[in-house]
Amino acid sequence: MTTTLTDDLAAGSTRGDDVTAAVHEVARRAQVASRTLATATRATKDAALRALADALVADADEIVAANAEDVARGRDGGLSAGLLDRLALTPQRVGAIADALRELAGLPDPVGEVVRGQTLPNGLRLRQLRVPMGVVGMIYEARPNVTVDAAGLALKSGNAVILRGGSAAASSNAVIVDVLRRALGSVGLPADLVQTIDVHGRPGGVALMQARGLVDVLVPRGGADLIRTVVESSTVPVIETGVGNVHVYVDATADVAAAVEIVMNAKTQRVGVCNAAETLLVHADAAEAFLPTALAALAGAGVVLHGDARTAALAPGSVEVLPATDVDWATEYLALEIAVRVVDSLDDAIEHIRTWSSGHTEAILTRDLAASERFVAEVDSAAVMVNASTRFTDGGELGLGAEIGISTQKLHARGPMGLAELTTTKWVVHGDGHVRPA
């Protein structure tokens, strides 16, 4: 059975002092490299992003061949279908990843943006500016696209990045990082802006989590166990990304045809992602018109249905609905499975979401403006969709370029984390011989 990155980190916490110095040296090199970007122009950074994109496309065959090794190893080791989907790269996916870098190059540079400013009555001139974090650490699993997304976002926002990608994508990540480092060197930027510590294995991940003062922020991206391990073990500040126990609520006034299409997209367009729908809630007044068609469509797409008794009663005769339990309401399937429940009111739907949601994304499908406004106001998740698929909770889809993760916390960054979320701020105060009076 293939071990997960969570297993690696947990095991590494009991040993690995021998690699701490090596990981800290990586972080020190990253600090030095990041200073180059602190004064780099947008033109320099954008040219580098385009060079990274071109290099990925040029070396796509090598990347896909290395990825095939990871996929075969993962399949033999029992990785789930959802994780295998996240792991797999094709020439088309490599091309899309490269295109995301080019889109990043077209976005405004957040560094130097004036967040706010004023001139005080005493003549002091204040500006609060966006500045890079410095060194960003990433711990993630089975997602070789994150290697590129993290590197691109870090570069554009003026940061160096240290990557710990886990054993599942080891072959892919090794090739990708090598391609990125060579491309950086080709445009005169330090290769150490992108580094991996995968060679240091389990202890390396622990050393990264303990590199406070050398690494400015750490972003975990993966399953619930991985995120919890990093949050609980790290002394480096963590931006907590979250799992996606995502809900779609079909309100009493929903357009049935549109709702079926949205639910199908939210569940089946790509199942192994955190913004795919995992629970479907249906108002009792819409259930009879909506559920037979929706359940048949889902079942026809190969989706396993877990539902309450009222859902099962409305299923067409050829459609099987397994009894849903609390485990189903709590589960992020990352597979062709969904939990379905009929609720008596908008209040009941909101209460269900409050009880079971992971705070990632929820959607309401309705033609009732008041219902949509209540849902938006009362559902406490990072993203709320009204009459749209949950699959739009994505940095690229929301115009942010690639994303480094989707934050479900409430401090600093929430939702898809693009360029601005990888910056902090600095106060700049201009005076003219000002001294503070006694």
| Angle, alpha carbons 23-28-34 (nearest 5°) | 125
Q: What is the pLDDT of residue 65?
A: 97
pTM of the model: 0.83
Q: What is the pLDDT of residue 418?
A: 86
Look at residue 12 and tell me whether its pLDDT is greater than 60: no
Higher pLDDT, 86 or 388: 388
Question: pLDDT, tens digit, for every residue of 318-334?
Answer: 899 999 999 999 999 99
The strand ranges marked E within 268-367 are: 277-283, 304-307, 321-323, 337-343, 361-365
Mean pLDDT to the nearest integer, 250-267: 98
CATH class of the structural domain 246-392:
alpha beta
Q: Do domains 5-241+417-429 and 246-392 have the same CATH topology?
A: no
Look at residue 55 and tell me whether its pLDDT is greater than 80: yes
Q: Which CATH fold would you assign to the domain 5-241+417-429?
A: Aldehyde Dehydrogenase; Chain A, domain 1 (3.40.605)
Proportion of the chain above pLDDT 70, given as a percent: 96
Question: pLDDT, tens digit, for every residue of 21-32?
Answer: 999 999 999 999
Look at residue 38 and tell me whether its pLDDT is greater than 90: no
Q: Can you give the residue ranges of every domain in the chain? A: 5-241+417-429, 246-392
The rounded distance, in Å, linking the Cα atoms of 99 and 361 is 25
| Of 254, 202, 214, 270, the residue nearest 363 (C-alpha) | 254
Question: pLDDT, tens digit, for every residue of 146-192?
Answer: 999 999 999 999 999 999 998 999 999 999 999 999 999 999 999 99
Give the lowest-confidence range in 116-125, 301-310, 394-403: 394-403
Higher pLDDT, 240 or 131: 131
Q: What is the pLDDT of residue 404?
A: 82
- What average pLDDT is seen over the chain? 93
pLDDT confidence tier of residue 408, bands split at 50, 70 and 90: confident
What is the per-residue burial (b if ≥16 Cβ within 10 Å, else e) of 298-308?
bbeeebebbbb
